[in-house]
Amino acid sequence: MEAAVPDWAYGVGRVAVLTGAGISTDSGIPDYRGPDGVWTRDPSAVSAFTYDNFISDPESRSRFWRVYHDHPAWRAEPNTAHRALSDLARSGTAVRVLTQNVDGLHLRAGSDPRKVLELHGSMREVVCLACRTRTPTEETLRRVAAGEDDPACLDCGGILKLAVVLFGEYLDSDTLGRAEQIARASQLMLAVGSSLQVEPVASLCALAVNSGARLVIVNRDPTPYDALAVEVVREPIGTALPRIAAMLAVHRSAESRPLDRTGG
């Protein structure tokens, strides 16, 4: 017997998808707070990812570069969940991806770069904190592999940092403003694979709901925003998101049924 289609899936033409580390675990990239997460296995590693420590302590920078030199993300490929979102966009649904991930897998899966906001930046580039020059990360990683523990900018000698947002560092205001506009304009907000514990990004869920959107959370563990959701899905992301995307594509032009915001 075919499963019933929930009310929230009918007549959705504009979808905002907030993705976190959980969407990339099937690609071999560990998450942060799960049972085998980066911070779970080594809580002290957080210090190397804190902005103040990074800019003031050469040893923190050295540890940071050691972590990223052989990071699994360099070998990762997009998985079924990443591809499901690009397929949904090709079906005619207006999809905007707001990702906390820095791995670039949404883009490699075929999502339109104009419709993906990398809220926490990208590990594919390095930026000099002094002269702001940006270079491909591969160039810096080759220097790390050759024995430079704390590679400096070749142009001005400044500190080099991955073009990602570290703990204690502000998000780009223009990027956050665009994300807020997208959340307000959405009919459905999907929060996928995120603990929704990192602000201000997590509050995009409340912004969407307060603007009239339906919120569906797909995550293994409870989040602070579960009570706002019309449905919380604990099913593995690799099976849940392709199913949801296919359902939205099929019922996009259907007349919207009355929405039971308690979870129908």
Q: Which residues are annotated as a binding site for Zn(2+)?
A: 128, 131, 153, 156
Buried b / exposed e over 22-35, threshold 16 CB at 10 Å, is: bbbbbbebbbbebe
Catalytic residue (one of 71, 82, 120, 251): 120
What tokens were used for 121? Answer: 């930046």
Residues forming beta bridges with residue 134, ordered by sequence position:
127
Contact 212, 1 (CB under 8 A): no
- 120 flagged as catalytic: yes
What tokens were used for 106? Answer: 């949404």
Complete DSSP assignment for 53-116: HHHH-HHHHHHHHHHHHT-GGGT----HHHHHHHHHHHTT-EEEEEE---S-HHHHTT--GGGE
* 103/65 Cα distance (integer angstroms): 16
R_g of the chain, CA atoms, integer Å: 19
Annotated active-site positions, please?
120
